[in-house]
């Protein structure tokens, strides 16, 4: 089907396509998902600490001005 325009393909063109994932594919997907979730938690933790520090710093500088 190489070189055939996509819009000329019909539903029957795809019925012969069989694609299955191997165990390695599933393990890779699970590993990447795990890494993304850990990176998300770490990023949120660092952003929370940064926001907390900025809030305390601005509050302390306001008290010094008084």
pLDDT category at 13 given cuts 50, 70, 90 is: confident
What 3-state DSSP class applies to 34?
helix
CB 1 within 8 A of CB 9: yes
Query: b/e per residue, 42-60, with b = 16+ CB within 10 A?
Result: eeeeeeeeeeeeeeeeeee
What 3-state DSSP class applies to 38?
helix
pLDDT tens digits for 16-57? 777 889 999 999 999 999 999 999 999 999 999 999 999 998
62: pLDDT strictly greater than 90: no
Residue 5 CA to residue 33 CA, distance in Å, equals 35
């Amino acid at each position: 089907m190489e070189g055939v325009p996509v819009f000329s393909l019909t539903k029957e063109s795809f019925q012969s396509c069989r694609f299955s994932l191997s165990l390695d594919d599933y393990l890779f997907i699970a590993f990447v998902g795990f890494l993304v979730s850990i990176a998300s938690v770490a990023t949120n933790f660092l952003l929370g600490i940064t926001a907390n520090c900025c809030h305390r710093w601005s509050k302390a500088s306001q008290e010094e001005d008084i």
